[in-house]
């Protein structure tokens, strides 16, 4: 049995007038996340965890914010490419464990909906997905949020 672990991280500042997406889910909040794509920091962290676990280039190398093709694109595009690469190498996700660090919005009211969205996007049972919300406790001065994700893969070959 061949297992691989990956760690992903992403953070973005808030931006007025932009929708907030986390884990492919629209969250009711007056600010979104600044970014070249849709700014979904959770999907970016999951994508980087997946790419790292299979030894591929990171999200910034594959989908540069200097490349106009990725301007405003859904982060699901990035995740789907990472999933394609993992499948091509014979890997399947066993579980993911994610932490969203933000003072606002509060994550607890959205955890189940985020898990449902990720379950659909990753084709993974909800009990294989962990989402935790943590406050910044004064750590960051700029308003925004950060996401950390670990992923465990098994080789199916």
C-alpha span between 56 and 119 (Å, rounded):
23
- Answer yes or no: is 63 a known binding residue: yes
Any idea what the Cα angle at residue 19 is, between residues 77 and 147, rounded to 5°?
Answer: 65
- Answer yes or no: is 10 a known binding residue: yes
- Answer yes or no: is 65 a known binding residue: yes
- Answer yes or no: is 110 a known binding residue: no
Instruction: Compute CA distances 148 → 10, 41, 68, 69, 98, whole Å.
Output: 7, 9, 26, 26, 6
- Answer yes or no: is 155 a known binding residue: no
C-alpha span between 14 and 31 (Å, rounded):
6
- Answer yes or no: is 103 a known binding residue: no
- Answer yes or no: is 128 a known binding residue: no
Q: Which residue do the tokens 């394609």 mark? A: 84
- Answer yes or no: is 58 a known binding residue: yes
- Answer yes or no: is 67 a known binding residue: yes
- Answer yes or no: is 44 a known binding residue: yes
Give binding residues for a divalent metal cation as ranges: 10, 12, 44
Q: Which residues are annotated as a binding site?
A: 10-12, 36-37, 44, 58-60, 63-67
């Amino acid at each position: 049995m061949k297992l691989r672990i990956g760690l992903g991280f992403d953070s973005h500042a808030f931006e007025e007038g932009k929708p907030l997406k986390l884990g492919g889910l629209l969250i009711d909040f007056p600010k979104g996340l600044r970014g070249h794509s849709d700014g979904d920091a959770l999907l970016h962290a999951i994508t980087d965890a997946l790419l790292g676990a299979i030894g591929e280039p990171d999200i910034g190398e594959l989908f540069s914010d200097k490349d106009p093709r990725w301007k405003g694109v859904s982060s699901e595009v990035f995740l789907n490419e990472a999933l394609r690469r993992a499948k091509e190498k014979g890997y399947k996700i066993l579980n993911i464990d994610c932490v969203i660090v933000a003072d606002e919005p509060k994550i607890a009211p959205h955890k189940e909906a985020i898990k449902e969205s990720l379950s659909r996007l990753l084709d993974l049972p909800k009990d294989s997905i962990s989402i935790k919300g943590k406050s910044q406790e004064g750590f960051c001065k700029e308003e925004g949020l950060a996401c950390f994700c670990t992923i465990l893969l098994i080789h199916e070959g």
